[in-house]
Structure 1
Amino acid sequence: MARQWVAGFRSAVVSPYEAIQFVEPRGFRDQTVRQVLRMAGGGDELRVRLSNRHGRSALVIGEARVAERGVAGGIIPETDTALRFDGASDVVVPAGEEVVSDPVALPVAAGADLVLSLHLPEETGLATWSHQSGEPTYVARGNRAGAADLPGAERVEARFLVTGVDVLAPEGTAVAVAFGDSWFGGVGTTVGANRRSVDVLNERLGRGWVVNQGIAGNRLLTDEIGERALARFDRDVLSVPGATHVLVHFGINDLALPGMFGLPPATADELVAGFTELARRAREAGMAIHAATIGPFAGAIYPGHNTPEGLARRREVNEWIRTGDAFDAVFDVARAVADPARPDHIRPEFDCGDGMHLNDAGARAMAESVDLDALRL
């Protein structure tokens, strides 16, 4: 059977030097960083993508290993496999660069938890990261990359230095990219429980294969927490191996975050132009594009987020998304999670408690708003 490399896991990363709320950036020195990676798709072989994209000095990786997950931060020892880079067990990644490991024969299934362990022997500086990953990372002193368990390890809710895992899968395997903000990233859902909307969508599909490129706080139009969607689209969507579909969820941060700094929200015309440009670029690349309506955020507890202008523009853009022909399909997240009595608010049973993000039940409702027949994976 002919096979090809496709994305089995993806993690969009941001610079640790940007202003990030709630989570402090960090670096490492003579520490092991063990990360749990939930696989959207599986195959007989894999290779890992590591990034120093936003680093300011060379990144030294002394050892890298992958294994199937055991309990908590533990691994199943008989699956423990060393990664190599052009045959070497260590690698130096220059500032601004990325590296792909040599392929290894470690079968991994869709929905499985792959564990990546990195020993970082030298000072890293602030590390390129995914600041609210929804998965635990375990940090231990010294080189414990091959250890079965990491007792006493620090547990951190962030992901560092890894941008993806490619798997060798049957030729013609189709991959969808969930390209968006925290509503794909899973902020508000139970950490480590894999109840993000993208996880639920993969469960609904049965065979998986929607990879998650959500960044909490990311915007369609403006750089701040990560490059704006229009700037990162080529790297985080078009360059994903096997990608044939893209699902987009943007707009909340363009409408709500500016108020924190006393700035006006994006206009409806600006958002429409941005969505139209994404659709044009996806279709030029031969990809189908599916768009979400912008979810409600009137109950947001964060200063400046809830403004009459922003909410009015949300309603205007949503009407354009629902009635226009820019996209191959629309999934109406806004209606799926809105409080019927107060449609600018999240339904109480779907609200994680901050008025702006979905809990586990809300993330499931978001995933269930996607028409699987229209997705055709």
Structure 2
Amino acid sequence: MTSTWIAAHRSAVIDPYEAFELFEARGFTDQTVRQSLRLAGGGEALRVRFSNRYGKEPLRIGGAHLAVRTRASRIDPTSDTPLRFAGAEDTTIPVGEELVSDPVELPVSAGEELTVTLYLPGDTGLSTYSAIPYDVGHAVPGDRLSAEVLEDAEELSTGHYLTGVDVLAPEGTRIAVAFGDSWIEGAATTPGTDNSFPAQLGRRLTRGWIVNQGISANRLLTDAVGDHLLSRVDRDVLAVPGVSHVLVHIGLNDLGLPGTLAYPEPATERPTAADLIAGLRMLAARLHAAGLTVVASTIGPYAGAVYPGYDSEAGQAARREVNSWLLGADHPFDGIVDAAAAVADPARPDRIRAEFDSGDGLHVNDAGAKAIAAAVDVTLLDL
């Protein structure tokens, strides 16, 4: 059977030099960084992807190892394998560039937890990073690449440099890319449980799988946290090997961030429903031009969000108008997921139901993510 490289894990990244710093940016000097991931699909071999997209200096990697994770920063030492780059165990990623490891002949399956450990010998400067990694990472001083456990490690709530894993899977394997904001990325779901809405939906599929390219606080039309969604299409969707379907949730932060205390844009810069609808039409057209099936989601409820200025009458009115359009006959998408209805309080539909609320009025918890996943007609993802 012929095999081909298919994405089995993805993590979209953010520029640490953005003016709006919602997540703490940081770098490393003479440190070992250990991060874990869970594969959405399996294959007979794998390769690992790294990024220095937003770095201002070349990123020297003094060594990189792959291992099976047991728990926290602990690995199975019998599985510890050096990654190589064009045959070498150390490498440098130029400013603005990506790097893919040499293939590792290691059969892997969906749901398997792996750990990637990097030794970063120099001063990295601020790192290209992910807002919500699969689980808490760990960092310790010096070269501890092969350590079974990183003792007295600093915990990392953000991900660094690690952007994906591809697996060598049967030709014809097709996957979906979940593309959007925190409701895609899984903010406020339990770290290390793979309980984001796309991950829980993926466990309902009978073939293929879903990789996650969400960025918490991302917007459709304007850069804020991460490049805006329309500018991410080529890199974070079209370049993903095996993609045939795209699952989109976006718009919350276009409506909520302008005017907040954290991001004090003038309220007049908040987009209108017409602006968002035009942007969504453009997004659908670009993805359809590439031959992809596109499933969009209604914008989730957020009335009562605890972040000052996020919830506004104008924003709520625009959300309702956009959602009505998405649920009507005039939208350009191949299917719609009514995420808003799946988690809304029936008595107050602009709010998240109490049992699905993470506690901030803006994000769903594990149970809320499960409710959204359960509301999806899986025939829309005919992988």
TM-score category (smaller protein):
over 0.9
Is the contact between residue 50 and residue 162 of structure 2 (CA under 8 Å) also seen in structure 1? yes
Give the TM-score, by structure 2 length.
0.96
Name the CA distance, whole Å, in 1 between partners of 2:211 and 2:74.
24
Give 1:302 shift.
0.5
Give 1:23 shift.
3.1
Which deviates further from its counterpart, 234-243 or 133-142? Answer: 133-142
Q: Percent identity?
A: 55
Equivalent position amino acid for 2:267 in 1: L
Is the contact between residue 79 and residue 106 of structure 1 (CA under 8 Å) also seen in structure 2? no
Counterpart of 1:375? Answer: 381
Equivalent position amino acid for 1:62 in 2: G
Name the CA distance, whole Å, in 2 between partners of 1:31 and 1:192.
23
Q: 1:263 is matched with which residue: 258, 264, 267?
A: 267
Name the CA distance, whole Å, in 1 between partners of 2:352 and 2:206.
28
Counterpart of 2:246? Answer: 246
Aligned pairs for 1:170-249 within 5 A: 170-207=170-207, 209-249=209-249
Is the contact between residue 134 and residue 158 of structure 1 (CA under 8 Å) also seen in structure 2? no
Equivalent position amino acid for 2:289 in 1: E
Counterpart of 1:17? Answer: 17
Q: 1:365 is matched with which residue: 353, 362, 371?
A: 371
Give the TM-score, by structure 1 length.
0.98
Counterpart of 2:45? Answer: 45
Count of paired positions: 377
Give 1:263 shift.
2.4
2:349 is aligned with 1:343: yes
Aligned pairs for 1:1-377 within 5 A: 1-19=1-19, 23-207=23-207, 209-260=209-260, 261=264, 262-264=266-268, 265-323=270-328, 324-377=330-383
Give 1:150 shift.
1.2
Give 1:375 shift.
1.1
Give 1:259 shift.
2.0
Is the contact between residue 15 and residue 226 of structure 1 (CA under 8 Å) also seen in structure 2? yes
Name the CA distance, whole Å, in 1 between partners of 2:46 and 2:178.
21
Is the contact between residue 173 and residue 208 of structure 2 (CA under 8 Å) also seen in structure 1? no
Aligned-partner SS, 2:277: helix
Is the contact between residue 338 and residue 375 of structure 2 (CA under 8 Å) also seen in structure 1? yes
Aligned-partner SS, 2:326: helix
Give 1:22 shift.
5.2
Equivalent position amino acid for 2:346 in 1: P
Give the direction of change, closer, same or farther, for the CA distance of 1:191–1:22 in structure 2 (3 Å limit).
Answer: farther
Gaps of 5+ in 2: none
Is the contact between residue 255 and residue 310 of structure 1 (CA under 8 Å) also seen in structure 2? yes
Equivalent position amino acid for 2:369 in 1: A
Name the CA distance, whole Å, in 1 between partners of 2:25 and 2:223.
18
Moved over 4 A (4+): 19-22
Name the CA distance, whole Å, in 2 between partners of 1:133 and 1:270.
31
Give 1:102 shift.
0.7
Superposed CA RMSD? 1.2
Give 1:221 shift.
0.3
Is the contact between residue 302 and residue 362 of structure 2 (CA under 8 Å) also seen in structure 1? yes
Equivalent position amino acid for 1:303 in 2: P
Give 1:210 shift.
0.2
Gaps of 5+ in 1: none
Give the direction of change, closer, same or farther, for the CA distance of 1:360–1:20 in structure 2 (3 Å limit).
Answer: farther
